[in-house]
Structure 1
């Protein structure tokens, strides 16, 4: 047996460094419109935008509202309205808005700007100032003739950015400076030719950072970004068009002690939507993030740059492809790689941009925590209704990681291989995983691993179990704060007892880059058994554990795809595959065709918009293999159809011999002209993805049928090896016989005289007892073989309450019973010794297995074996009976026979 895993692990942090904020959104009052501006002073957060009311967290729109004229002051620590700062910004015509807020360095003055004509009924021209605390209006006679979008306050000046061309009637184009008394500084000139959107002052006060739509500043070429002198406005550093693309603008600028950071938004193709970090000393670029999805907001806390946007495609960064949007992300101020922090919002109101502003609240009176406030047009935060405002804190981290999903199988080198997909935690990328065996409470293996939602390299561990031993495994995930997930659903396997699995061994001998056996019985995890740790995931709910499988084996099962939207994909980006072989087994009667395998540029964001190296079925059942070569689609097509309801092996390759297509081990087509595919990148899809622009596109892009034993090889296999794979599927080896019950029933202690033999479900519970009985007719062992293993497999029914956290004993039935007559009062006697345990079958629709004592089953071969499932706890289990309409849902007894 394997030991308890590695020694003591390094001490864990509450959050995975350098992340400083948890991803758990805190209760915060919300608005009925968009928040554009945030500022903080002495534990009070000021929010401005376009809204007319605020309401408590959880309140529906239009309920429990308080009037708020485009402005509200909130307690940084509680998220509730603060007292003593009631301001209302209005305008005579049009829509009033507060677009910018800033607090003076001494926290004694709040500046507000935007587009408004009065504050609390007193006139204003888009700019105003207020004494803190209390928000009493103070003289600040600044008038702008256009929207003011940005503010930066120092001890003696306030810098403005916007659409204006005049301040107090004096020409100042898009940027200007005024004294704290409101006098326009005519000596400070930083005129731009287009809108100014952001302004910030460097920590040393020497420079002002300008961002916007402009192409010229003070007459010099500088697109979207410029650095000017804080005293005069003279250009210090300009950035030519191309440093930021012509069709992109700088929306936001923030600073820390060593750098400044800009966020951009673009329109059209070839845009820059991401973030740039620049050094304050040199004003040169430190790093660049080229993700797509307009950046609107930035804030630095510790050594982390937090950002607000609708990032949807970071493939240029080697991260996630075009998919559902991330609205909040974090990265180190020293590196553009994403950190493990993934709270999320929706797009929301207005321009549907989600978050529009971020602000930190530190040194909050009476509170040891720091806060990150988020404002915008969103109406949902982390799946819950929340409008306009939300906030996060430096602690505590109380959210447990998601429960891992696991798979177990006999290891090709002996023992049992356990594999699992790392959990995707919202604020901890480094988690600790503990493996528990056979219901034990002490882990037999412990390991730490890092992962991100789009990069979850498969984890594996080999339990050095002796040949013939069966074991069940469950896994937990723990974050740095000690929050621990629920245990995973149990998975069971038996170490090989000799004879091996010829088909698996033949595939592994050719070193596949990816090998999905598709024999998982539940969940969304597709285990890669190539040894390369390439995770796979099922989408759209393909049916799991479908039998019969294409290739016999101890855990023989396949996946069933619905022909509508179910598929399996790799989350690893594969590239440079110019010579390769695709191989899978399929079984179908469809007349709508569909994709069997192919490379696509997307994973979960919808059908791929670019596809290559495709293997698909036409409506008439013929098979086609295609690659894009020399600017065109090159295809091979079989002459006969294979939608005959039988299992077939198909292999397609390209290499030195050209393009080749094999069915059932025999080459059916070849094109020797094209010996190399184009160098492209993508994610492997099985069961479906777009087939747009491919010849004779079938009626459905998605395949309706079963798939099994799917592999991708990084070379062109020889004809002999393809045939060897096909032949290995029928070589003498351990075989599994799947038996259905000849009778089954359950009894109910609360209805002592009732018979439940005809029911489609069976039940087990300890208290208020249910017991279930199953009868199997057993064959004799095949000539020259012995029974090596026996496993009872059941499928939990689909009702939400059908799964159970309890475990149940499988016991021999020693008394007589009849399916149509047995009741609780006439229930049969049972043997005292359990033959096996069905561990925590908790997931509705999941398939669970209980390894049984082989000696007892062996003694019953050639006759009948009666089994009972019993429990001692109070959590009931409901599972499908032999009367269930779908035969794949019926209970099964799996008998493994092989050479002695």
Structure 2
């Protein structure tokens, strides 16, 4: 067996060892649990360090390719080649908002309230499809959001039974909480005067570490209210203070047609309200809002940065969605001169997803100390 093959199996073995012994309920831990957890982690880290050096000259081609930037086309051109109905990259801000890059039916995203100053969006070398000066829109709950006026009847932003849709965005949340639903993009449910309240044509939202798709179906009988149908992912692993690519595809009027993706990978989930349905969605000329809903309520507003928001009148394939997420995982940054001799430095890190894998973004350092 090659050194790289040893490393491949050791990663999984050490990962299993560490996660089986990890602390899951911090308030209830004792000294033995802490010691066991640290020992498990040090054993896993030592094994990986040793085998990584052993295998450095014998890497698998697939892993070598995964470490190299593959960008031969810009993210903007890649998205436009997949023919979105609307696409806002937030790169250039006008005095009143951001223009859509789709020329067929340009629909600007207008600022309501105020937005924070532009923030850095996904950038190389971690995200090689983007430019070094890529910008994102920054949102603060209760301060402002973006509104897109519907061009009119049967516009490219209106979706009825038989229409396929893809909603897509890059998100970098500052905060998120399970049970709360923060709007990335949605049409309807704006609570504007003169517009029906239960008129959600479609929406993509963040809840905890998951994404959620919500829409309303038309009443079957007179006097009844529209029915909300909500799908929520499970095991999404979205963390705060890091960029994630999210997308959902759906064919209105067809059961079992919803597909969702986080960071280029398909994720599972379930219809946890209203159930799956073949009924037609509610559709009208209400606005599309980015970053909020329900009158701009802080409880429904996104907190953080959004970038590359797109709406398609087609269901992108899994390969197309995967091509939008190219990621080069940064290597560990260790300053050996800062580690005292004859001591072990223990770093406590935040933002590690709850999954048995070493493939995650660099976590945040919460605390650090040394032991004899």
* Residues 81-122 of structure 1 deviation map (CA, whole Å, 9 limit, x = unaligned): xxxxxxxxxxxxxxxxxxxxxxxxxxxxxxxxxxxxxxxxxx
Q: 2: CA distance between counterparts of 1:686 and 1:516?
A: 10
Distance 1:674 1:662, change over 3 A: farther
- 1:818-857 to structure 2, matched below 5 A, reads none
Provide the C-alpha distance between the structure 1 equivalents of 2:74 and 2:328, rounded to a whole number of angstroms: 9
Of the three residues 280, 283, 287, the one matched with 1:683 is 287
Q: Which residue of 1 aligns with 2:213?
A: 625
Deviations 1:268-300 (A, max 9, x none): xxxxxxxxxxxxxxxxxxxxxxxxxxxxxxxxx
Structure with a larger share of its residues in strand = 1
Q: Distance in 2 between matches of 1:607 and 1:560?
A: 28
| Distance change in 2, residues 1:565/1:607 (3 Å) | farther
Q: 1:636 aligns with which of 220, 223, 231?
A: 231
Matches within 5 A, 1:454-533: 501-521=73-93, 523-531=95-103, 532-533=105-106
CA 563–604 in structure 1, closer or farther in 2 if over 3 Å, else same: same
Provide the secondary structure at the position in 1 that maps to 2:319.
helix
Q: How does 1:695-844 map to 2 (within 5 A)?
A: 700-727=299-326
Cα gap change, 1:685 to 1:509, in 2 (>3 Å): same
Aligned match of 1:613 in 180, 202, 215? 202
- Cα deviation code 1:116-162 (max 9, x no counterpart): xxxxxxxxxxxxxxxxxxxxxxxxxxxxxxxxxxxxxxxxxxxxxxx
Cα distance in 2 for residues equivalent to 1:699 and 1:542: 14
- The counterpart of 2:168, out of the listed 571, 578, 583, is 583
Shift of the 716–671 alpha-carbon distance from structure 1 to 2, 3 Å rule, reads farther
How far the C-alpha of 1:560 sits from its partner, in A, is: 0.5
Helix, strand or coil for the counterpart of 2:320? helix
Contact 2:121 2:307 in 1 (8 A): no
Counterpart of 1:567 in structure 2 is 145
Q: 1:715 to 1:677 in 2, by over 3 A?
A: farther
Q: Secondary structure at the match of 1:523?
A: coil
Q: What is the DSSP-based 3-state SS (H/G/I as helix, E as strand, rest coil) of the residue aligned with 2:266?
A: strand
Equivalent residues in 2 for 1:658-669, closer than 5 Å = 658-669=257-268
TM-fit CA distance, 1:671 = 6.2
Query: Residues 776-824 of structure 1: CA distance to partner in whole angstroms, max 9, x if unpaired?
Result: xxxxxxxxxxxxxxxxxxxxxxxxxxxxxxxxxxxxxxxxxxxxxxxxx
- From the superposition, tell whether residues 629 and 671 of structure 1 become closer, same or farther in structure 2 (CA, over 3 Å): farther
Q: What secondary structure does 2:150 align onto?
A: coil
C-alpha distance in structure 1 between counterparts of 2:150 and 2:93, whole Å: 23
1:3-42 to 2 correspondences below 5 Å: none
CA distance in 2, matches of 1:567, 1:525: 10
SS class of match (2:247)? strand
Is the 1:544–1:560 contact (alpha carbons within 8 Å) kept by the matching residues of 2? yes
Aligned mates of 2:109, 2:257 — CA distance in 1: 29
Give the superposition deviation at 1:699: 7.3
Is structure 2 residue 112 aligned with structure 1 residue 539?
Answer: yes
SS in 2 for 1:726: coil
Q: C-alpha separation between the residues in 1 aligned to 2:238 and 2:196?
A: 26
Map of 1:652 onto structure 2: 248
In structure 2, the residue corresponding to 1:511 is in which secondary structure?
coil
* Distance (Å, rounded) in 2 between the aligned partners of 1:569 and 1:599: 10
Q: CA deviation at 1:662?
A: 1.2
Q: Does the CA contact (< 8 Å) of 2:186 and 2:204 recur in 1?
A: yes
Q: Per the alignment, do residues 591 and 541 of structure 1 end up closer, same or farther by CA in structure 2, a change over 3 Å counting?
A: same
More helix by share: 2
- How far 1:625 moved relative to its partner? 1.2
Query: Residues 565 and 608 from structure 1, CA distance in 2 versus in 1: closer, same or farther, beyond 3 angstroms?
Result: farther
Distance 2:232 2:295 in 1: 15
Alpha-carbon offset, residue 633 of structure 1: 2.3
When the two chains are superposed, the root-mean-square deviation of aligned CA atoms in Å is 3.3
Matches within 5 A, 1:306-455: none
SS of 2:248's equivalent in the other structure is strand
Question: Higher mean Cα deviation, 667-676 or 501-510?
Answer: 667-676
CA–CA separation in structure 1 for the residues paired with 2:132 and 2:98: 18
Deviation at 1:700, TM superposition (A): 0.9
Structure 1 residues 639, 607: closer, same or farther in 2, change over 3 A? Answer: farther
Q: Structure 1, unaligned stretches of length 5 or more? A: 1-498, 693-697, 732-900
**Inter-CA distance 528–522: structure 2 relative to 1 (3 Å threshold):** closer
Which blocks of at least 5 consecutive residues in structure 2 are unaligned?
1-70, 152-156, 219-225, 330-372
Larger Cα-atom Rg: 1
Contact 2:97 2:146 in 1 (8 A): no
Deviation at 1:501, TM superposition (A): 4.5
TM-score for the superposition, normalised by structure 2: 0.53
CA distance in 1, matches of 2:94, 2:258: 36
Using the TM superposition, give the Cα deviation of residue 539 of structure 1 relative to its aligned residue in structure 2, in angstroms: 1.4
Q: CA deviation at 1:605?
A: 5.9
Scaled by the length of structure 1, the TM-score of the pair is 0.23
Query: Looking at both structures, which has the greater relative contact order when contacts are Cα pairs under 8 Å and sequence separation is at least 6?
Result: 2
Q: Structure 1 residues 710, 582: closer, same or farther in 2, change over 3 A? A: same
Note closer, same or farther for the CA distance 1:535–1:629 as it changes in structure 2 (3 Å cut). Answer: same
By how many angstroms is 1:608 displaced? 7.7
Aligned length: 226
Report the CA distance shift for 1:501/1:511 in structure 2 as closer, same or farther (over 3 A). Answer: same
